[in-house]
Amino acid sequence: MMAKLRTGIVGATGMVGQRLITLLENHPYFEIAAVAASKNSAGKTYREAVGNRWKMKTDMPRFLETMIVMDASDIVAMQRHVDFVFCAVDMQKEEVRTLEEAYAKAEIPVVSNNSAHRWTPDVPMFIPEINDGHADVIEAQKKRLGTKKGFIAVKPNCSIQSYVP
């Protein structure tokens, strides 16, 4: 069996980050290896950082309760823990673009739930059942960013996905 990919969730304390956690908790291919959020949450356990804001129908995963939340802007620290990140931060679009490109330039691939890069020409927006060929633009993006493995891919907003059969 192949080793699981070490995944980081940037923006882990918010609603989308929490949802990602529930989706990845027992995933066969991904292991949640790091969680990151704002400077206000950094250094706290995930349980302390989220407090009473856990909104999922299932309980917070026990292994995550004591995981220390990292500072989302400390990309060097994240590099030691993850193979790639899911990004779900609540920031202004320009700040999101800057943060996601910094992760990619640090050779950490980014799967973004944010809208900031949805109109960036060399950033693929994936609905795998429909446009898996859109991954071809990643090579142009890597050239622009000067990376070997770092890149950004975005997922479409949820309303578009609801129309997909």
pLDDT band, very low/low/confident/very high, at 2 (cuts 50, 70, 90):
confident
SS3 19: helix
What distance lies between CA 3 and its chain's CA centroid? 20
What's the pLDDT score for residue 81?
97
Residue ranges of domains in the chain, CATH in brackets = 5-161 (3.40.50.720)
CB 84 within 8 A of CB 65: no
Q: 120-143 in b/e burial notation, b at 16+ Cβ within 10 A?
A: bebbbbeeeeeeeeeeebbeebbe
pLDDT band, very low/low/confident/very high, at 127 (cuts 50, 70, 90):
confident
H or E stretch at 32: strand 30-37
For residue 163, pLDDT beyond 80: no
Which letter does DSSP use for residue 82 in this model?
Answer: -
What's the pLDDT score for residue 117?
82
| Tens-digit pLDDT profile for residues 10-56 | 999 999 999 999 999 999 999 999 999 999 999 999 999 999 999 99
| Tens-digit pLDDT profile for residues 69-105 | 999 999 999 999 999 999 999 999 999 999 999 999 9
